[in-house]
Structure 1
Amino acid sequence: MHKGKYGLAVLAMLLIFASGCSGQKSDSGQQAAGGAGQEMSNGGTNQGTADGGASGGQQNAAAGGTDTSGGAGGTSEGAGGGADGSPGAGTSGNTGGSQNGDGAGATSPDTGSGLPAPSANVLRQLQSMTLDEKLGEMIVAGMDGNTPTSRTKTMIQQQHVGGVIFYKNNVTDPKGLAAYVNQLKAWNRDNPSALFLSVDEEGGTVSRLPGLEKFPDAWDVGKTKDTGYAADMGGFLGAASSAMGMNVDYAPVLDINSNPNNPVIGVRSFGATSDLVSQMGLPVMKGIQAQGVISVVKHFPGHGDTSVDSHLDLPVVNKSLKQLQQFEWVPFADAIREGADAVMVAHILFPKIDPKYPASLSKTIITDELRGTLGFQGVVITDDLTMGAIGKHFGIGEAAVQSVKAGADIMLVAHGYDDVVTVIDALKKSISQGGISKKRIDESVTRILTLKEKYGLSDRKTVQTPNLTSLNAEIRKAIGAH
């Protein structure tokens, strides 16, 4: 079995985590933090057809990862980092800003298995935030153009969005992307927390970041059954994302490609069995995490047996709860046990479980099953609410309100500045009418701030234009060995 250097980096990261590191101080209170913690950052997604889906270009988001705050002993450059300054894929070292267990056991909503208990810093920050800031924190929004615009500035500074997603039309080259990211960071510095800077970088068919060697599809990685190779691919994805300023990667896909007529998953899946998808998908997740990048596993409860593309309309899967638990949910359950921090929930109707709402809006699926049965209490993000599966059946405001009632923490609004306003207005109206409690909002914002703090996100460190020469050489070498 291939034991690549990126697989070893993952092992080193896990050993560091197990030894009791408590996380970095982040910009979850960024005005006061003064940049004390080291930033860990990553990527965006693609305009047009994200997720390899049909027209409308929707994207998938959420986040997951293990704590990479390894202290001064962490590798600062990483495997593959060369004298040319190109990034490697080793574990990033934390040179300061340790929380020292600050606030452990504080009274607050329990964030559950994927995240540590909220620190005193997070709880103080939560108490200082206005309702507008809290609601903005729960949105990851899309942007127009490949340079920052006044509409984007307004969205960040007035709507206080918690993150953005990069699509293909937002990306030119590594230099342009770095400049874009740095401007967004500058605009966000007076907000309560650092931005999620996210990208759909799965490798293969769904690849958004510029200047990279072409990655194999997940299906080709899965066929090797080489977990070391999968860990290397995850390390490469994380290193590339981090080098270009991204701190969230919507990968890996944990859907099982069990339906040959599936129009949207296909080669994006690692295989047609639950065992193979778990075997190969989890090392990719950990490889991304080892680079200080939040991995979002997707698309719960499983998109592999659909025959309709949710970018266009609402898929319906007539499987029972027992069938899902024994097949589609296996890779997600394994990922949760192995430290997933974020899960993206799909727009799919499972009428035998919830006949009224798709998974992304279903309290039965998100709260009762994902959080309850599977024990996941990390960050839950919806698939893009501007997709046809939602737009043809629900208004975006209605969908946002229902997703929060169901237990989602972040709403992905990948297209349309006006849609962000609509979502915020709908949430405010529901709160004023008693449909959503402020306690429910605080639960989600606590999880989000805790995840940002765990990964040491900061808007105070600028992104340099990366030299990708050594990283691309390592990618070619790994692919060539298979």
Structure 2
Amino acid sequence: MIRFTRHSLKPKISGTLFIIAAMVSLFLIAGCSNSSSNSQSEATDSPTSQSTPAPTTSLAPTPSAVSDPIALQVAEMTLEEKIGQMLLVGIDGTVLDEQAKKMITEDKIGGIILYKDNIKSLKGMISLINSMKKSNTGNPAPLFMSVDQEGGKVSRMPKEYATFPSNGTMGASNDAAAAEKMGKLLAREVRSAGFNMNFAPVLDINSNPDNPVIGDRSFGNAADQVIQLGIAEMKGIESEGVVPVVKHFPGHGDTSVDSHLDLPIVNKTAGQLADLEWLPFQAAIKEGTDAVMVAHILFPKLDPDKPASLSRTIIGEQLRDEMGYQGIVITDDLTMGAIMKNYDLTTAAVDTVNAGSDILLVAHGYDNEKRVMDSLLQNVKNGKIQETRIDESVYRILALKAKYNLSDEQIPVPDLTDLNKEINVWRQTIEK
């Protein structure tokens, strides 16, 4: 049974009613189109794309506030609070500066992502995370505290933690049980530091040997291998109470451009993608994945104008309608070169919301976060985004936070002796 504490959400609703409603909420989110489920990362002048007006119908049923306390909380939130919940932001430095604090206390953002530059030592990291959680006191919901902790070259944790091998190394073992154990250990590692969301596993198939950004971040070059190991890792992360975010839909494995730097273009049809790239994501949906990250890749044969992360065709039609996914959709970082060099950031923010995204990752720049938030507010007020579209995303976000029993409670500096020993013993079995 899902447990909730008085720290889980703003205390407007009695605990018993909230438990019942959250269970109903999770059924609606995970089960609307997925009845088989049981569980559950720089700018130049650029052309400005035209934002498409919001659809007048919701992508998923919106429960009545009369019978559903989560819907009631959404109804009682201000528009500013709701949009804040849809932003997951990065900060500068290793301490909570005034700009970071303003994003939490004034903009009431829904989550934070920390990168290597934010983390220098175990004690410093714990102090930073605790200060952010303390600043969130009184806000509508606990923070998503997120990190990219994949293993191999994408490792953010400080030197006090034992290290993990790459997914490529994991793939060479082709051991699903070991992959699930890796997920559990990754989750225990990040959770010990106060994180509750991990942008892993990578479900990209490493089909292009010249790919500059995926490589051994992938479990391998075959769909079956990525499915077997990726889903096992996903379940391992989830089982330890950390939200796994599978990435990078529709698939980053066949790109020859790093989307951190510029916009990759993949000239594949929907049929070709369905035969390879989409298979791991479809498997994750079938297994009840809670969150999917969408990549900044242009697929001209699906949408000639907008990359996947901004495309209603790819998010709304393919991912949600065709694949039946009703969980959280998170964009890759909107301040990456793929977006900032080719699109207007504020228009991109509107487009991705109208496409069906729930959480916008704005990983760099307080000014960028403000521009995105102001754009969304203005475009709801002028009717280019329907407020029901905002409500739908906020409902999903609050329900997911409740499902994982998130809180902003302070955490102590952990003793890592046992955890590091377990990681090292497990790693020896993979690398033997």
Alignment equivalent of 1:244, drawn from 171, 181, 193: 193
SS of alignment partner, residue 481 of structure 1: helix
Is the contact between residue 104 and residue 120 of structure 1 (CA under 8 Å) also seen in structure 2? no
CA distance in 1, matches of 2:124, 2:195: 13
SS of alignment partner, residue 21 of structure 2: coil
SS of alignment partner, residue 220 of structure 1: helix
**200 and 296 in structure 1: CA distance in 2 versus 1, 3 angstrom threshold:** same
**190 and 355 in structure 1: CA distance in 2 versus 1, 3 angstrom threshold:** same
SS of alignment partner, residue 325 of structure 2: coil
SS of alignment partner, residue 383 of structure 2: coil
CA distance in 2, matches of 1:103, 1:264: 38
Q: CA deviation at 1:279?
A: 0.6
Moved over 2 A (4+): 21-34, 97-106, 108-121
CA distance in 2, matches of 1:344, 1:430: 24
CA distance in 2, matches of 1:109, 1:423: 29
Is the contact between residue 26 and residue 456 of structure 1 (CA under 8 Å) also seen in structure 2? no
Please name the residue that 1:273 is paired with.
Answer: 222
1:379 partnered with 2:359: no
CA distance in 2, matches of 1:476, 1:346: 33
AA matched with 1:219: G
CA distance in 1, matches of 2:23, 2:97: 41
**33 and 144 in structure 1: CA distance in 2 versus 1, 3 angstrom threshold:** farther
Is the contact between residue 165 and residue 199 of structure 1 (CA under 8 Å) also seen in structure 2? yes
CA distance in 1, matches of 2:186, 2:197: 11
CA distance in 2, matches of 1:316, 1:179: 41
CA distance in 2, matches of 1:332, 1:465: 36
Q: CA deviation at 1:471?
A: 0.9
- Please list, as runs of the form range in 1=range in 2, the aligned pairs for 1:53-64 lying within 5 A after superposition: none
Is the contact between residue 4 and residue 19 of structure 2 (CA under 8 Å) also seen in structure 1? no
- Please list, as runs of the form range in 1=range in 2, the aligned pairs for 1:43-442 lying within 5 A after superposition: 99-102=18-21, 112=32, 113=34, 120-210=68-158, 211-442=160-391
Q: CA deviation at 1:120?
A: 2.7
**22 and 235 in structure 1: CA distance in 2 versus 1, 3 angstrom threshold:** closer
CA distance in 2, matches of 1:207, 1:247: 16
CA distance in 2, matches of 1:216, 1:468: 18
Residue range with higher mean Cα deviation, 465-474 or 117-126: 117-126
Is the contact between residue 29 and residue 122 of structure 1 (CA under 8 Å) also seen in structure 2? no
Q: CA deviation at 1:380?
A: 0.2
**431 and 277 in structure 1: CA distance in 2 versus 1, 3 angstrom threshold:** same
Is the contact between residue 27 and residue 452 of structure 1 (CA under 8 Å) also seen in structure 2? no
Q: Normalized against structure 1, the TM-score is what?
A: 0.79
CA distance in 2, matches of 1:436, 1:241: 36
Q: Which sections of structure 2, spanning at least 5 residues, go unmatched?
A: 41-61
AA matched with 1:186: K
Q: CA deviation at 1:147?
A: 0.9
AA matched with 1:266: G
Is the contact between residue 200 and residue 244 of structure 2 (CA under 8 Å) also seen in structure 1? yes
Please name the residue that 1:29 is paired with.
Answer: 9
SS of alignment partner, residue 161 of structure 2: coil
Is the contact between residue 298 and residue 344 of structure 1 (CA under 8 Å) also seen in structure 2? yes
Q: Percent identity?
A: 49
Q: CA deviation at 1:121?
A: 3.0
Instruction: Count how many residue pairs are aligned between Structure 1 and Structure 2.
Output: 399
Is the contact between residue 2 and residue 404 of structure 2 (CA under 8 Å) also seen in structure 1? no
Q: Which sections of structure 1, spanning at least 5 residues, go unmatched?
A: 1-20, 37-96
**149 and 320 in structure 1: CA distance in 2 versus 1, 3 angstrom threshold:** same
CA distance in 1, matches of 2:109, 2:99: 12
Q: Normalized against structure 2, the TM-score is what?
A: 0.88
